[in-house]
């Protein structure tokens, strides 16, 4: 097999991926980029066939790492090569698949961003509660921080989900799974104030009833984007420079609970994580906090 034949088989594969598998143009473009880069490496290495030893592919991936490619990019590259080599094997262009000996790199787990106690206090106090939407926004921020619920859970929260006498909220999470989440008296008081002073009269004026708690100016349920925008607005207002999203309040909730001695299993239950390893990432944040406190407090550091 020569260079032209290798290029032809690559193009045949891309046509197959687009026509037979119905992959998007963007996906095909990514495959093409990855495979052409791989082909160029094989040519430089004087390889004249796709059927190479695994160490050749390892050398190619090592070069990608030397170029400081992100782990996600290398993982995508490996995925592209896996699919391509399976196709080459099925098409009898190669006799064995060298990719079976190639491991995917472990996915990097970035520590989530969390706000400090000072930052969360400033953010919660940012809305102008003398204005109807400001009062609503204060209730939203207090609820997110008090419960750690996802933004998708917040915008679908209904009055019938509130159990004020028990300080609990029934939350509908991923996969329509229900869980009971504790909520503070402070957050409940802001929700009640928003309902009494804003929401109830808003619904009355619009002449239509809805069970959703948090509404926009037209008495319609809020969107994920609108929650994101209001958080960004208030962060700018109080000069918080971190990249804060609605999920940041969920991270902050979990981090502050663990910093104050909460049991990891309890936090897992509140957050609705099916796997405790998802919750354990917050322990890295609390350990970082412990180290900072230690350095500040110990006279010999």
DSSP 134-168: HHHHHHHHHHHHHH---HHHHHT-BGGGEEGGGTE
Residues 42 and 152 in one domain: no
Mean pLDDT of all residues in the chain? Answer: 88
Choose the final residue of a domain: 75, 101, 127. Answer: 101
Which CATH number belongs to the domain containing residue 65 in this structure? 1.10.150.130
Contact predicate 84/27, CB 8 Å: no
Q: What's the average model confidence in pLDDT over 242-266?
A: 90
Dihedral sign computed on CA atoms, order 256, 111, 242, 291: positive
pLDDT at position 106, please? 64
pLDDT at position 97, please? 93
Say yes or no to pLDDT of 108 above 70. no
pLDDT at position 289, please? 59
Return the bridge partners of 212, or none: 158
First to last CA, the chain: 65
Kindly report which listed range (3-12, 43-52, 85-94, 169-178) carries the lowest average pLDDT score: 169-178
d(CA 123, CA 128): 11
How distant, in Å, are the alpha carbons of 116, 124, 156, 274 from that of 289?
A: 10, 22, 34, 26
pLDDT at position 181, please? 95
Residues 32 and 147 in one domain: no
For the stretch 64-104, pLDDT in tens is 888 888 888 888 899 999 999 999 999 999 999 999 988 87
Domain count, the chain: 2
Residues 143 and 208 in one domain: yes
Helix (H, G, I), strand (E, B) or coil at 170: strand
Which CATH number belongs to the domain containing residue 241 in this structure? 1.10.443.10
Contact predicate 152/224, CB 8 Å: yes
pLDDT at position 50, please? 94
For the stretch 175-219, pLDDT in tens is 788 999 999 999 999 999 999 999 998 888 877 788 999 999 888
For the purposes of burial, counting CB atoms within 10 Å of the CB of 247, is it exposed (0-12), middle (13-18) or buried (19 or more)?
middle
d(CA 246, CA 115): 12
- Residues marked active site are found at 150, 174, 247, 250, 273, 282
Say yes or no to pLDDT of 264 above 80. yes
d(CA 269, CA 195): 28
pLDDT at position 22, please? 78
Residues 136 and 92 in one domain: no
Q: What's the average model confidence in pLDDT over 94-123?
A: 84
Instruction: Please give the share of the chain, as a percent, with pLDDT higher than 90.
Output: 60
Residues 196 and 143 in one domain: yes
Residues 175 and 263 in one domain: yes
Judge whether 110 lies within some domain: no
Helices in 91-208 by DSSP H: which ranges?
117-124, 132-147, 151-155, 185-194, 200-206
User: Beta strand 162-163 with 168-172: parallel, antiparallel or unpaired?
Assistant: antiparallel
pLDDT at position 110, please? 65
Range of the domain at 289: 117-297
Residues 6 or more apart whose Cβ sits within 8 Å of residue 82 = 99, 102
């Amino acid at each position: 097999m020569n260079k032209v034949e290798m290029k032809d088989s690559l193009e045949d594969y891309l046509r197959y991926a687009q026509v037979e598998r119905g992959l998007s143009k963007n996906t095909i473009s990514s495959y093409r980029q990855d495979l052409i880069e791989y082909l160029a490496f094989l040519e430089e290495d004087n390889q004249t066939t796709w059927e190479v030893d695994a160490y050749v592919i390892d050398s190619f991936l090592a070069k990608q790492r030397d170029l400081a490619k992100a782990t996600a990019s290398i993982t995508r590259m490996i995925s592209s090569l896996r699919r391509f080599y399976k196709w080459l094997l099925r098409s009898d262009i190669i006799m064995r698949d060298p990719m079976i000996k190639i491991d995917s790199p472990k996915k990097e787990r970035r520590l989530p961003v969390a706000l400090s106690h000072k930052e969360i206090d400033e953010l919660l106090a940012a809305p102008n509660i003398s204005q109807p939407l400001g009062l609503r926004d204060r209730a939203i921020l207090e609820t997110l921080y008090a419960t750690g619920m996802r933004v998708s859970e917040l915008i679908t929260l209904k009055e019938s989900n509130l159990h004020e006498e028990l300080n609990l909220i029934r939350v509908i999470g991923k996969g329509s799974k229900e869980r009971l989440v504790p909520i503070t008296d402070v957050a409940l008081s802001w929700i009640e104030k928003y309902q009494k002073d804003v929401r109830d009269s808003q619904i009355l004026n619009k002449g239509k009833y809805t069970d959703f708690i948090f509404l926009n100016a037209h008495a319609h349920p809020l969107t994920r984007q609108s929650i994101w925008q209001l958080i960004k607005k208030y962060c700018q207002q109080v000069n918080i420079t971190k990249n804060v999203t609605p999920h940041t309040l969920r991270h902050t909730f979990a981090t502050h609970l663990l910093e104050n001695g909460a049991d990891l299993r309890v936090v897992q239950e509140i957050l609705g994580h099916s796997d405790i390893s998802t919750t354990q990432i917050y322990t890295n944040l609390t350990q970082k906090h412990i180290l900072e406190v230690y350095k500040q407090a110990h006279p010999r550091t």
